[in-house]
Structure 1
Amino acid sequence: MPEGHALHRLARRQQRLLGGQRLSVSSPQGRFAHEAALLDGMVFRRAEAWGKHLIHRYDDGRRGTAATRRIVHIHLGIYGTFREEALPMPEPTGQVRMRLIGDVLGIDLRGPNACELYTPDDLDALVARLGPDPLRPDADPEIAWRAVSRSRRAIGSLLMDQRVIAGIGNIYRAEVLFRAGVDPHRPGVAVTRDEFDEMWADLLHLMPIGVRRGHIHVVRPSDDHGAPAYAPDRPRTYVYRRAGEPCRLCGTTVASEQMEGRNLFWCPNCQR
């Protein structure tokens, strides 16, 4: 599943490619057909992200309170993808949930967990369920700190809980904990405020790099040597997907286990 930086990068790209254009909207697959008919011919005003959720905003091009506005909520999940095509677009193949055609290109959405019309109240309810998103300027770390400091759940679980911090996935979870030297099994109540602040500041530093570069970059320049990335096209990491390999800093074997159904990676020596 894409982590938060990928959704923010996607929102910025779609805003740049489609913003201000009157779109043709359809659902070749048919599962979004009624909603697509309501959107067809509307102006694409804005794309934005909250954590792992993508929001599209449309209006009918009129000004004032009489204007019709629509909101689309998209959650890609594990299999959802967008594909861009120059115009004229080829006939759709496969399960295209939503097709957007602008002035010079089109975008197909396939396989999302969710693609649905939202009301403003629906969007408010979604945002209320999410923790602060480090990539949004309105993110309030106090909300996340209260959730962490009052919980006996492991910090490794809390960081993956979108109700605590929105947008964090398995890679950022593993790497931020390693960089802070925090054992992922430690209960939230045992994490100090200084440790939390260090991890939050690290997210504010690392996630925008992911947005700019299009991939996660977590290894400090001084540590960027030794073993290669866990796969040729994947980011170099300290511990993520490196089970059984030597820690880049101390040489201890990187450990791995399942935590709440997700693979967890850590260095038993560096993270105490």
Structure 2
Amino acid sequence: MPEGHSVHRIARQFDRNFVGSPVSASSPQGRFAEGAAVLSGRTATGVRAVGKQMFLEFDDDLWLRVHLGMYGAWDFAGEILVDPTIASANGRMGQTNQRGTVLDGDPVFDGAGENSLTSIGAPRRTRVHVRMSEQTTGLADEGDQWPPPVVGQVRLRLLTDVACADLRGPTACELRTPDEVAATISKLGPDPLVDDVAEGQERFTSVVRRKPTAIGLLLMDQAVVSGIGNVYRAELLFRARQNPHTPGREVGEEVVRGIWRDWVRLLSIGVETGQMMTMDDLDPEAYRAAMASRDDRHWVYHRAGLPCRVCGTAIVVEEAAGRKLYWCPRCQA
């Protein structure tokens, strides 16, 4: 499932490429035909990302709410202007194996050998093309078909004169009023990129410290904290040397606060690089390897049976509320 950093990166792409422009909307798949008809011809006026959800605003107080869920993704095509604040803006941004980032001016490829911004969401090879640059003049390649052909099951296509966004496989794609958007957001936990960081820390700490639920489950509860998914959950707990089965109310207050501060830091790194980088103090060679391969990017995630990078104990994987939980039974005892 795409985690919070990916959704914030999606929102930035919409802000730069769609906000301020009228859009033509369609539902090639047919499952959002009525909603697309309502959107078509309207101007996108704003965008918000909160946790794992994105809210795209249109004129006349109409909002589109999208939750990518496990398999959803946005595919972009056309003249895509890249956010210059994102270091790896010419890298593909997915969920657990994002493609490509830049180190010292050179692209670093992951095992898939990709380096395109075409798809943000569930990791897979996209089949539409995009041009990535700060200044674009015309389409990516002379003779490219415009609009690009529809490929696969596209729930929603948003099209401007020069940019195209195709939504595939979301859990939620629905029109909402301002009040409905506010009600949805009010049910979500704090997001460090949306809420005041200090207030978010207090809110997060207060909720966790009164819950009998295991901390490993609380971090995945979007009503407790927004944006954390399976990867960040495992890595945050390992970095805190915290047993995932400890009830939240039994986790020390400073440990809880430390987890929040670490989440603030890791989320910012994820948005900047497009990678869920959770290892610190890497030399340039190790950093390049980590950018190129998830196997070199994390402490415990996806390392079941492999030796802990700190103590050598075999990493354990178990099921927790239907999701895989990775942890070190010694470091996090």
Q: What TM-score do the two structures reach when normalised by structure 2?
A: 0.74
Does residue 40 (structure 1) correspond to residue 100 (structure 2)? The answer is no
Matched AA of 1:236:
R
**Mapping of 1:138-217 within 5 angstroms?**
138=196, 140-217=200-277
Contact 2:156–2:168 under 8 Å retained in 1? yes
Q: Give the distance between the partners of 1:261 and 1:97, measured in 2 at CA.
A: 27
Q: Give the distance between the partners of 1:89 and 1:233, measured in 2 at CA.
A: 34
Q: Give the distance between the partners of 1:42 and 1:256, measured in 2 at CA.
A: 48
Q: Give the distance between the partners of 1:148 and 1:77, measured in 2 at CA.
A: 24
Matched AA of 2:181:
L
Q: Give the distance between the partners of 1:40 and 1:257, measured in 2 at CA.
A: 46
Deviations 1:176-218 (A, max 9, x none): 1111111111111111110011111001111111001111100
Question: Which structure's relative contact order is higher, taking Cα pairs within 8 Å and 6+ residues apart?
Answer: 2
Contact 1:217–1:235 under 8 Å retained in 2? no
1:96 alignment partner, one of 136, 154, 164 = 154
Structure 2 gaps of 5+ residues are: 79-138, 140-145
Matched AA of 1:267:
C
**Mapping of 1:119-138 within 5 angstroms?**
119-138=177-196
CA-based RMSD: 2.0
Q: Give the distance between the partners of 1:188 and 1:19, measured in 2 at CA.
A: 41
1:261 alignment partner, one of 312, 315, 322 = 322
Deviations 1:112-131 (A, max 9, x none): 11110001121122112211
Matched AA of 2:184:
L
Matched AA of 1:40:
S
Percent of aligned positions with the same letter in both sequences? 47
> Alignment partner of 1:201: what SS?
helix
**CA offset at residue 233 of structure 1?**
5.3
The corresponding residue for 2:84 is none
**CA offset at residue 93 of structure 1?**
3.1
The corresponding residue for 2:92 is none
Q: Give the distance between the partners of 2:193 and 2:295, measured in 1 at CA.
A: 22
The corresponding residue for 1:79 is 71
Deviates more, 1:108-117 or 1:128-137: 128-137
Q: Give the distance between the partners of 1:266 and 1:240, measured in 2 at CA.
A: 8
**CA offset at residue 234 of structure 1?**
5.9
Q: How many residue pairs end up in the alignment?
A: 262
Matched AA of 1:245:
L
> Alignment partner of 1:221: what SS?
coil
Deviations 1:146-204 (A, max 9, x none): 22111111100110111110110011111111111111111111111100111110011
**CA offset at residue 271 of structure 1?**
1.2
Q: Give the distance between the partners of 2:3 and 2:265, measured in 1 at CA.
A: 15
Deviations 1:63-86 (A, max 9, x none): xxxxx2210000111121111122
Q: Give the distance between the partners of 1:256 and 1:74, measured in 2 at CA.
A: 31
Matched AA of 2:216:
G
> Alignment partner of 2:155: what SS?
strand
Matched AA of 1:45:
T
1:246 alignment partner, one of 294, 300, 307 = 307
Contact 2:201–2:261 under 8 Å retained in 1? no
Contact 2:307–2:315 under 8 Å retained in 1? yes
Q: Give the distance between the partners of 2:182 and 2:22, measured in 1 at CA.
A: 26
